[in-house]
Amino acid sequence: MIGIFDSGIGGLTVVRAVMDRLPGYDIVYFGDTARTPYGNKSSRTVVDYSLQNIRFLLDQGAKLVVMACNTASSVATDTALSRFNMPIYEVITPAVNQSLEISKKMAIGVIGTRATITSGIYEKKIHEKAPEARIYSTPCPLLVPLVEEGWLNKPETRMIVKKYLHPLKVRQIDALILGCTHYPLLKPIIAHKIGKKVAIIDSSMALAEEIKAFLAENPQVDRELSKNGKADFFVSDITPQFEKTARAVIKRNITLKHVGL
Amino acid sequence: MIGIFDSGIGGLTVVRAVMDRLPGYDIVYFGDTARTPYGNKSSRTVVDYSLQNIRFLLDQGAKLVVMACNTASSVATDTALSRFNMPIYEVITPAVNQSLEISKKMAIGVIGTRATITSGIYEKKIHEKAPEARIYSTPCPLLVPLVEEGWLNKPETRMIVKKYLHPLKVRQIDALILGCTHYPLLKPIIAHKIGKKVAIIDSSMALAEEIKAFLAENPQVDRELSKNGKADFFVSDITPQFEKTARAVIKRNITLKHVGL
């Protein structure tokens, strides 16, 4: 099956995209809710957690893994690829590719957690393909707790989003990468505050398309993926709030199973 | 030595109080920054983490332990006391005792994390001693991330504090318990928004006084505590931001040591 992990609920936006683009494929999800969030923690700790999460997904029968967390993708991809001999997807590259297709001015904004922005991964990947691109990035550490509280359209959230986006807005970017899987849930506010001229880039759909294209070209991997329309959701901590948000994002009834790592 | 733990930086307000009231006593601190915050997690997970943290402090030579985290104190005290044969202090009781001394109307407000408020521990402990007291409590889950970001006096923080305190303000309380060790860092805003007639109760000083009184009455415990003015700070994850905040709270130069649990 397809294994997907995140530090908590953010990765469910990726699950939704994979269910949409690859209907019927079995999915096993792991949300590391006992140690969430990852975004303010050190690389070393996030790498350790990511490797444990992938190991867990493999033990559940995953044959392809998606790191549906920008923080993990930013700091743990190289180590994960060198440690595990299997297709491992991250959420940075699809967003980078999409931003380069869309931006006409080559002036691209990136928002994410402190760990993601500090890693410089978006600058690095964009400059590999477009050395002339101007990239402006800013950490938005309070957006994850605001989303997890369900404060998706409160005045305080709008003020904080406006404050965070201000340094990007003055740079006249024309594309903005949502570099955290929580942020698509704030897309209406972010789009409103950054302005109509800026295209908002959310990697989940692009990522699901990329996996679909990869499987079409690699039938030997595709054959190993079971397709019974099953989805299992594991979390390292069960709280009523998480269950509620998970159902709202996935839009179907799901059962969370607790697992200690 | 005296062992003190918290999910992260909040417990440092307790360290400061202990250093103030018990100068010279050696302290070992553990901040579980790799798994912070505890406040939105389930009791089961917080109990597991608390027991691991106490075990670590014992291994470092602690002979008396302070759970300097309201969430841990709320859900893990009974288990900790039954598991370890030593003096274990929590931060709830000193605040309860102080509120009962101070409140004239017996109308007491409590703010804390979701886990602390859901536990109902303050209501239970206050009603044991004053069944007639009226208690109004409300969870303030965004205050911990705001403090950890250092947004101690931003307009957004003031708006969020005002929103959270509104249901307590209309109840005309005359005492407000800061039921989270992070909140003393927001005391000026909280005091301003709740109004002059309300006494603000921060348990750290009361707790330090209680330990001092206990040691005066129990010289056999006091003799076991080393007194070389040493303080060791261990964390499960080291980030530059934590170091900065830690120095600001403790007001002296400290070295953080990394330890994986």
Residues of A in Cβ contact (< 8 Å) with B239:
40-42
The verdict on B35 touching A (C-beta cutoff 8 Å) is yes
pLDDT (0 to 100) of residue A205? 86
Q: Which of A255, A254, A185 is nearest to A11 (CA)?
A: A185
The DSSP output letter for A31 is E
Closest CA to A93 of A65, A118, A74, A113: A74
Average pLDDT, chain B: 94
Q: Which residue in A has a C-alpha nearest to residue B260's C-alpha? A: A45
Q: How many CA atoms lie within 13 A of B109 on its CB side?
A: 26
Residues 6+ apart with CB under 8 A from B199: B102, B103, B174, B175, B176
Q: ∠ at Cα B169 (B168, B173), nearest 5°?
A: 75
pLDDT in tens, B228-255: 999 999 999 998 777 887 888 888 888 8
Q: What are phi and psi of B10, to 5 degrees?
A: -50, -40
Q: How high is the pLDDT of residue B10? A: 87
Residue B66 has a pLDDT of 98
- Work out the angle at residue B132's Cα, subtended by the Cα atoms of residues B129 and B138, and round it to the nearest 5 degrees: 85
Domains of chain B, with CATH numbers? 2-90+204-258 (3.40.50.1860), 92-203 (3.40.50.1860)
ipTM of the complex as predicted: 0.87
Residues of A in contact with B145 (CB under 8 A): 141-142, 145
In terms of Cα–Cα distance, which of B66, B109, B118 is closest to B77?
B66
Q: Which residues contact B230 (CB under 8 A, 6 or more apart)?
A: B1, B26, B27
Average the pLDDT over each of A73-87, A123-137, A139-153 and give the range with the smallest value.
A139-153
Contact with chain A for residue B45, Cβ under 8 A: yes
The DSSP element (H or E) to which A64 belongs, if any, is strand A64-67
pLDDT band at A260 (very low <50, low <70, confident <90, very high): confident
Q: Chain B residues with CB inside 8 Å of A142's CB?
A: 142, 145-146, 149, 151
Residue B151 β-bridge partners: none
- The mean per-residue pLDDT over the stretch A121-145 comes to 97
What's the gap in Å between the CA of A237 and the closest CA on chain B?
A: 7
What's the pLDDT tens digit per position in A198-237? 999 998 988 999 999 999 999 999 999 999 999 999 999 9
Closest CA to B22 of B231, B179, B180, B181: B231
**Is it the case that residue B95 has pLDDT exceeding 90?**
yes
pLDDT at A149: 85
**Cα→Cα distances A160→A118, A146, B158, B203, Å:** 20, 10, 12, 31
Residue B85: CB atoms within 10 A of its CB come to 7
Q: What is the pTM of this model?
A: 0.90
pLDDT digits over B147-204, tens only? 888 899 999 999 999 999 999 999 999 999 999 999 998 999 999 999 999 999 998 9
| pLDDT at residue A240, rounded to an integer | 78
Whether residue B41 and residue A239 make contact (CB cut-off 8 A), yes or no, is yes
